[in-house]
Each structure stands twice: as C-alpha cells, then as structure tokens.
Amino acid sequence: MSAECSSYLSAEKVLVSAFSCPRAGGDARNVYCCGFQDVKYCCDDPHSFFPYEHSYMWWLSVGALVGLSIAAVVLFAFIITVCVLCYLFISTKPRSKLDTGLSLQMAGKTRC
C-alpha cells in the first residue's frame, strides 16, 4: 500500500514536487500522505491530512491560548474575591461575647 502526495507550494512559496509514501529510506509504516496544503509528509495515520494551510493551526493555537488566559484571569479574580470576603467576614466578627446584663454567682452553702 502506498499513497501519493501531490506537489504543493511550501510556506516559503517554493514548489515541492510530488512524492510517494513510504519514501525511500524512510519508515515502511509511513504509507499515508499527511500534513497540510503547504507542508506534506509521510506518516502512519490515515486521518492526518488537513485541507488548509499550516498557518491556520497557529491561529487556532493563539485562540486557545487567549481563551485559556481569559479563563485563568477569571479564576484568579474569583479566588481573590473569595479570600477578601473571607477576610472581611472574619475581621468584622465581634471579638467578645455580648453582655446580657446578668451576673452569674456561684452557688455555695449558706450559713444560718
């Protein structure tokens, strides 16, 4: 079994001629054409060819990093808010018990 990788223009706008997989001197298991429209190579996974340019994946990565950064900032703000609220709750509690106005006396034996 072999696959044919068609010719393509690389990211540097250089024409790369078509080649067959597996390549001579390469791993015999790499029988599929993989990669992107502007970067092709032989691999062993039949589902690793993506019909768009390699730079598209960088934009996906940047988008994921921006989304994760926003989520991290929101989580950090939530943790700071919880810490501040806990501190305010603890610091505003009364330090001593309220005086009820009753004084307690020890019960003892009375002499008659």
Q: What is the DSSP string of the chain?
A: --EEEPPEE-TTS-EE--EEESPTTS-TT--EEEE-SS-EEEES-TT-B-SS-HHHHHHHHHHHHHHHHHHHHHHHHHHHHHHHHHHHHHHTS-SSPPP-SPPP----PPP-
The answer to the question of residue 104 being in a domain is no
Examine the domain organization and report whether 11 and 33 are in the same domain: yes
Do 17 and 36 share a domain, yes or no? yes
User: Greater confidence, 112 or 69?
Assistant: 69
pTM of the predicted protein model:
0.45
pLDDT of residue 56: 61
pLDDT tens column, 44-88: 888 777 766 666 666 667 778 888 999 999 999 999 999 999 999
Q: How many domains, in total, are found in the chain?
A: 2
| Domain encompassing residue 16 | 4-43
